[in-house]
Chains A and B, each alone.
Chain A
Amino acid sequence: QKEVEQNSGPLSVPEGAIASLNCTYSDRGSQSFFWYRQYSGKSPELIMFIYSNGDKEDGRFTAQLNKASQYVSLLIRDSQPSDSATYLCAVNMGGGATNKLIFGTGTLLAVQP
């Protein structure tokens, strides 16, 4: 079983719709969770991080964390073609002892104009 799992996609949504990206992780002791966006041929850039159960909103982005279900998601409201990229979920599984991140393989999002 992979430690961090994401659906590889592609996830196709029309412009203006809500895109929902999902991630599950295996280590119940994980404490911090990150979403990175990666455009083709570029390096990952941080979108959001979340440490506590519940929702965290930043502009058009909302991260949702449910530690009991070992599930973290990213919602993108009013999706734009410029949001088309691969979204990487990353989890710190060190229980606070290390900052090593385990990444999922990413979900490719395609926003159709």
Chain B
Amino acid sequence: GAGVSQSPSNKVTEKGKDVELRCDPISGHTALYWYRQSLGQGLEFLIYFQGNSAPDKSGLPSDRFSAERTGGSVSTLTIQRTQQEDSAVYLCASSFAGHGDTQYFGPGTRLTVL
């Protein structure tokens, strides 16, 4: 596609429920990243996939967070047993090759946990 796409654009859920957020990177981009942006804050790195390498999960805040990337393309970020502090905009980005290459961001998913 022309750019990174994410779905849903907005998600409202109840505390304790699981949610799945989807990211479709730019065609041909081998690297995919998830970030989180809380209100008025900068971007917080969550996880990074590069090709077939093991993902860099160093930014995941707890074991309730996990992500998959199937077939080297689409990625799903799953948050289990959501908490109110998980409310944020979840941004996905992709880049062409990995090291040092420019990341292009999707429109984000705004998650609200009631």
Contact = CB atoms under 8 A, between A and B. Distances in A.
A99 B42 contact: no
Nearest to A108: B40
A109 B56 CA distance: 33
Interface of A: 31-32, 34, 36, 42-46, 49, 51, 88, 90, 92, 94, 96-106
Interface residues of B, number: 26
Q: For A44, A90, A104, which residue has the most chain B Cβ atoms within 10 angstroms?
A: A44
B100 A100 contact: no
Contacts of A99: 31, 33, 48, 50, 95, 98-101, 103
Interface of B: 31, 33, 35, 41-45, 48, 50, 56, 58-59, 91, 95, 98-108
Contacts of B107: 42-43
B28 to A, nearest CB: 16
Nearest to B100: A32
B42 A96 contact: no
B99 A96 contact: yes
A34 B105 contact: no
B42 A88 contact: yes
